[in-house]
Structure 1
Amino acid sequence: MTVGARQRWSDAAKRALVLETFAPGASVSGVARRRGVSPSLAFSWRKRLRDELGFPTGEKRVVEPAGFLSVVVADRGAAHADTSCTIEVELAGGARVRISGAANTDLVAAILKALARR
């Protein structure tokens, strides 16, 4: 194949690529790049073939917002205190809370409880 030559894609190859873009967690751009197709062409094929392949027009993916996990802070006692530790919590908006040094377990628990109420 020479530079600038136009590649022809069979209908079966187009359908296979479009089906791959509808797989959970797949991105159209990522699939297109792996297959050597321009992302705009892959989006065009997807738009044209989605009804034929059984995917409703205007399908929207629902993304659940991130939540908090349950955290248990165990007090290991003064003999096991580590003064070089750092605890960092990143919030959904991108803000971060960082606790450095010997963290008091009651203080860490209170901070996490306060953040969970927000």
Structure 2
Amino acid sequence: MARRTKRLWTDDEKRSICVQTTGPGVSVAQVARRYSMNANLIFTWLRDPRYAPEASAEPDEACFLPVEIVDRPMHDDNKAAAGPVPAAGTIEIDTAGGHRLRISGAYNPEALARLIRGLSG
């Protein structure tokens, strides 16, 4: 009969294992199997502030941006209207960096978010 030995994990190893659980689509059970250990041990480490990953460790953390809805007249009767009026089904976004995006028709929201992040950075 094989004798089991208790493994001792260093603090750096515990931190590294805990950080691996924060990846997109990664479960604690997957990380536990990778190291041939029980997932409950990782959950214990995640509750310990010494090993828990920091909240800022997420690269694509969601955030809210200020939005202003501007009512523009459809006709140029009012000289206060700035620029052309976008067509129906079009969204127009002015970024803080001075860029203006005008999107018409179908679009991929994730690709649009990456574009806005790139222009704002």
- TM tier relative to shorter chain: 0.3 to 0.5
Calculate the TM-score normalised by the size of structure 2.
Answer: 0.40
- What TM-score, normalized by structure 1, do the two folds share? 0.41
The structure with the greater share of residues assigned to helix is: 1
